[in-house]
Amino acid sequence: AQSVTQPDIHITVSEGASLELRCNYSYGATPYLFWYVQSPGQGLQLLLKYFSGDTLVQGIKGFEAEFKRSQSSFNLRKPSVHWSDAAEYFCAVGARTGGYNKLIFGAGTRLAVHP
Amino acid sequence: GAVVSQHPSWVICKSGTSVKIECRSLDFQATTMFWYRQFPKQSLMLMATSNEGSKATYEQGVEKDKFLINHASLTLSTLTVTSAHPEDSSFYICSARDQRLAVGNEQFFGPGTRLTVL
């Protein structure tokens, strides 16, 4: 069955430090992979996506992610975190199940940023 | 482009009443819309998938008579929570895609609706 695992429930970093949020997926075919960010009480904003091609994907707000098929991973990175990056981050895989195209979300990682 | 709106953004209602939430795609045709439910500090749980002009497909464990979904046009889907109870209080998020154009299951999300049932 398709699944997405985000091993870190909560991460705290200092402003200006680098960041890596982990995401592992389980999917039998070539995955479509997404990272979304959610601020409190808000909907989801797409940070970046991977469909095919270059495995290093650039997104908005200075984020990037690297697809590693051998590790079934799609980790999100940012070289220097800003206080405004504090939010909930969700990794998702696009899957086709039961004849329908769906997004399967990980549990999320809550990022706190210390000044 | 690809903007999805939801109305209302928050609603408080009495137990036993019904509440309707609207989801609109503002600048594209949404052949497929999705409804999610999110409990505090948890991930999104897909409730149902609706294709324009056809009945919604509900996920296992979601009561179709409780959560009525209508997708009558290419820009509007509605979720009606019937006979709402306090346990229905949650954050409801819709998303939409144009099945004819979208690649890789990309969906565009609305801002969510906070439902509180007293």
Three state DSSP letters for A32-60: EEEEEEECCCCCEEEEEEECCCCCEEECH
Q: In Å, how far is B76's CA from the nearest CA of chain A?
A: 18
**To the nearest whole angstrom, how far is the Cα of B13 from the nearest Cα of chain A?**
19
pLDDT digits (tens, 9 = 90+) for A71-95: 999 999 999 999 999 999 999 998 7
**Distance of CA A101 to CAs A6, A70, A82, A109, B17, Å?**
21, 24, 35, 24, 33
Nearest Cα residue to B71 out of B110, B26, B118, B32: B32
**pLDDT tens, residue by residue, A33-58:** 999 999 988 889 999 999 888 999 99
- List all residues of chain B from 14 to 53 with a beta carbon under 8 Å from chain A: 32, 34, 41-44, 46, 49
Whether the CB of A29 is below 8 Å from some CB of chain B: the reply is no
Return the beta strands (E) in B1-87 as ranges.
Answer: 4-7, 10-13, 19-25, 32-38, 44-51, 57-58, 67-73, 76-81
Whether B100 contacts chain A with CB within 8 A: no
Q: Which residues contact A85 (CB under 8 A, 6 or more apart)?
A: A19, A61, A78, A111, A113
**Do B106 and A34 count as a contact with CB atoms less than 8 A apart?**
yes
Cβ-based neighbour number of residue B65 at 10 Å: 8
Q: In chain B, which residues have their Cβ closer than 8 Å to the Cβ of A87?
A: none
Quickly state the pLDDT bin for A99 (edges 50, 70, 90).
low
